[in-house]
Amino acid sequence: MSLDAARAVADAVLWEGYLLYPYRASSAKNQIRWQFGVLGPPRADRGGIAEDPSLHCDCLLLASGASTVQVTVRFLQLVRRQLEQLRDGQHVPVDSITAGGATLLSFDEATDCELTYGPFAPADLRTGQTLPIVIPAAVDDEDIADSDGTVIGRTIRSRDALSGTLQLSADVVGNAASGGQTFRLSCTVSNTHPDPVADRDRASAVSMIGPHLLLQIVDGAFVSLLEPPATLEAAAKACRQSRCWPVLAGAPGATDVMLVSPIILYDYPAVAPESAGALFDSTEIDEILTLRVMTLTDDEKAAARATDPAAAAIIDRCDAMTPETLAQLHGGLRSPHAFDEIPTFGTPDPLGNPDTPWWDPGVDASVSPSTDAVTIDGVRVAKGSLVRLRPSRRADAQDLFYDGQQARVTSVYSDVDDNVHVAVVLTDDPAADLHEWYGRFLYFAPDELQPLDLEPADTYGADTYSADPHSADTYSADPHSKENRP
């Protein structure tokens, strides 16, 4: 289960940047490929025609005598797609062929490669092991037929041999609380292509593209390097990473799988359930990118379809998208700490659930910025109150222009740290009503305001905050606050 969930994210990482919008071969940003973390041939990085030939990661694992570790290396390999047209019985290389009303182009593709090593007992890796990575060269051909079935050419797909190594070692860094041992597992993947390369195209042909590792442990557990337990903080800080980033992966809370990614991720990354499929350009928002694809002209879509079968699939999927699927891309509200331990604060929330987290919208039901108030210099200030601005915190250079200005309070807020913020609009601003309607306010701390009214214009018997942090009746509008409400 954990490995399957991790693979979904690993596939997204693997194909990220494969093709970029507008998915045409003629687009400048699709002329120089590929994506993150390419392992180029040795010494080619010195000439600027390829990236570094290796990546390295350290990670921590808790193991017993029965524990085993399995390592899967995954990457893309470049595939040259060359079209050849049949002329007088001879196949002649061409840039494009039109068959059955569709145009095909000569262009580079990629195929995924995966090699699995192990299982290994962590103790057996203490002396280190160097394992070969071997991908043989291959050539495949496929006939191209016209609409009447006549063969008019062929597609030649060729790929060069790749060679590399996976180096594994493990060191004991401490004893586990469970009675086992804590190991630091080191993994290094290197491109060892033996021949020199002359240019970027040749370097790409023998590179490992988008390389990453999936580590799986049986009868043991990996340790989060982002949030290690206190007893392993020093060991986690001592772990070394080069051109990769190891995170816990799979089902949230599981510790049996680690993804070593070429891009920075958080623990338990996941593909958004709203996503309708791969777009390869995920630095963009799916909804925006999908809408952009839908606005391409027919000629632009035809050019994308001719570029790559994967691009054609994206165009077809976007064209066939229903309003319901498109609306789903608008996203959803999820907590970034959904799997954290939910804190309780001892004060029942408005929903009647003592375990409801602070970010639940129902918790804020008793908070009303338009009716809440704050006490400043003994005066209750709320919506409608007039105040004089006395900026003192200098958060913005424009504060200098507000000094001494008269303003009208529009609302009073309290954040989750119990800090009070007063929203105002300038009374002399001709656009004050427009700002208030649109919700564009200036925000000041209570100690930056001088009350001009003895009482606020609007009073609703709402919560009142004290501007004096030492006041005995200071409290927070947060119903889960540790402070006792009066």
pLDDT interval class at 370 (50, 70, 90): confident
- pLDDT value for 453: 77
87-139 residue pLDDT tens: 998 999 999 999 988 899 999 999 999 999 989 999 999 999 999 999 999 99
pLDDT interval class at 394 (50, 70, 90): low
395-440 residue pLDDT tens: 667 777 888 999 999 999 888 777 899 999 999 999 888 888 888 8
Taking residues 336-347, report their average pLDDT.
46
pLDDT higher than 70, residue 462: no
Mention the CATH class of domain 365-466.
mainly beta
Taking residues 142-166, report their average pLDDT.
95
List, in sequence order, every residue forming a beta bridge with 379; answer none if it has no partner: 376
What is the CB-side half-sphere exposure of residue 111 using CA atoms within 13 A?
18
Taking residues 317-339, report their average pLDDT.
77
Copy the structure tokens of residue 278. Answer: 């791969």
More confident residue, 102 or 464: 102
pTM over 0.85: no
**Which of 287-296, 331-340, 415-424 has the least mean pLDDT?**
331-340
The chain-wide mean pLDDT, for the chain, equals 84
More confident residue, 392 or 70: 70
The distance of Cα 286 from the centroid of its chain, to the nearest Å, equals: 13
pLDDT higher than 80, residue 458: no
| Cβ–Cβ under 8 Å, residues 228 and 59 | no
292-320 residue pLDDT tens: 999 999 999 999 999 999 999 999 999 99
- pLDDT value for 346: 36
199-251 residue pLDDT tens: 988 999 999 999 999 999 999 999 999 999 999 999 999 999 999 999 999 98
- pLDDT value for 365: 60
Copy the structure tokens of residue 319. Answer: 């064209």
Copy the structure tokens of residue 53. Answer: 């030939």
Q: Which residue has the tokens 């390097």?
A: 225
Of residues 180, 269, 187, the one with CA closest to residue 220:
180
pLDDT interval class at 465 (50, 70, 90): low
| Cβ–Cβ under 8 Å, residues 420 and 478 | no
- pLDDT value for 363: 55
What distance in Å separates the CA atoms of residue 208 and residue 35, rounded to the nearest whole number? 11
- pLDDT value for 91: 95
Tally of CB atoms within 10 A around 253:
10
Copy the structure tokens of residue 298. Answer: 């027919």
Tally of CB atoms within 10 A around 81:
17
| 373-376 vs 464-466, strand pairing mode | parallel
Taking residues 311-335, report their average pLDDT.
84
Domain extents for the chain?
A: 2-284, 365-466
